[in-house]
Chain A
């Protein structure tokens, strides 16, 4: 039983890795938006980034 479960599990893992590579999945965090106005091309300032409020690290050791 454990053998069969591991076999199915292993094939699922391999399948998931294959699909992830083929479809181009990513582990990086980002926000997907629809219908960004075409005017952004001429007026970049009209677009406000979701990440613009990011708190920046200004340290060092």
Chain B
């Protein structure tokens, strides 16, 4: 492949020339005259030597791609990285892995002042490819399993395979042949791919960058929509991996902020005791009605929560209390029931216990005012007398919100990490180092 030729640095200025195919007589347009090496007749598919004035026939081949035409027609012009290029060549190549053939397409782009550039397409995945400006270095110590260093960036080896050219069309800056083979080695650092193409005559390094089909369609002003991409390509940028560090840093920052909020509210909460009283529940004495009301108590400050704590001395007993926190003036009430139970014993597994002698409930968003509690106790009829106490506190911090907040922050970060790992697993499953073998290779 020819290196880029900047303007005014001595390269002969290319120009367009129309010729006829020496085999079939069809007209042939040489778009990169002076820089192209071979051209393929679009009519009879003879590969012609453009260096020869008579367009010597280098090879002829049967047209085998009628059902696989170029997605970007030859002669189409488009803007890549701010430079106008014309599509002058097209080839289809294939590799065979595990007896399965994988095909992709390559387009040769040409600009008279910038030289050649290439586009590759595989199942809707596109790469913008150019020749390397420097020779990359391959060092087994660079990465596992081994990698290449190009301009200070480490690329991981992805795949090595024998590629065969199946079909060619248009002009090429090298002596193209159908059936020719090259050993292709790809190293990746998404969204870039470093490719080494080795033949018996030469070794060529190129650097590619993943491009979305919609951007190619837009650059070349093509009609319709690009073919949808299938699967995950070797250097396709992961939408998750690029954000992973930022998301975890965000999680750390949010957790610190959550702690600050917790400390702030814990310090500022009044947690003020407003009522406390002890009671005895005697089923025998109550006659019929067991409900009663407490003295009124003042809930001050702004609208906030109220904690009602019930404590009872229980031994294999339960007590259930129907509570109503009632605003003496407005008649607004919060109705709730709480059970306090405690059981213990001893069996073949040893001693056991369940339940608790204390229960707390938080009544939400209670405006300031004068309140009282209506309490209606119930208990096991077998136990006649039960002692219990009721305590009320105003503006109590609720720890469970911090736990929920922490989980709400943590779960998306875990989900994004899982998606990222899944994306990378899919990517590497198509490589010479599928995930199941990576660890084995690392330990070797």
Contact = CB atoms under 8 A, between A and B. Distances in A.
Interface of A: 1-3, 6-7, 9-10, 13-14, 16-18, 20-38, 40-41, 44-45, 47, 49-52, 54, 56-61
Interface in B328-344: 328, 331-337, 339, 341, 343
Contacts of B332: 32-36
B339 A57 contact: yes
Contacts of A50: 335
Given A14-B261, A59-B343, 15 more contacts: A2-B243, A6-B246, A10-B409, A24-B305, A25-B305, A26-B361, A27-B362, A30-B363, A36-B331, A37-B331, A40-B374, A44-B376, A47-B291, A54-B320, A61-B354
B257 A21 contact: no
Contacts of A22: 265, 304
B366 to A, nearest CB: 7
Interface of B: 239-240, 243, 246-247, 250-251, 253-254, 257-258, 261, 265, 269, 289, 291-293, 303-306, 316, 318, 320, 322-324, 326, 328, 331-337, 339, 341, 343, 345, 347, 352, 354, 361-366, 372, 374, 376, 378, 380, 395, 397-398, 400-402, 404-405, 408-409, 412-413, 416
Contacts of B324: 33, 36, 40, 47, 49
A59 B316 CA distance: 9
Interface centre among A28, A32, A45, A57 (most CB of B within 10 A): A28
A56 to B, nearest CB: 5
B318 A34 contact: no
Contacts, number: 176
Contacts of B405: 13-14, 16-17
B401 A54 contact: no
Contact of A36 (B243, B326, B401): B326
B289 A61 contact: no
Contacts of A16: 405
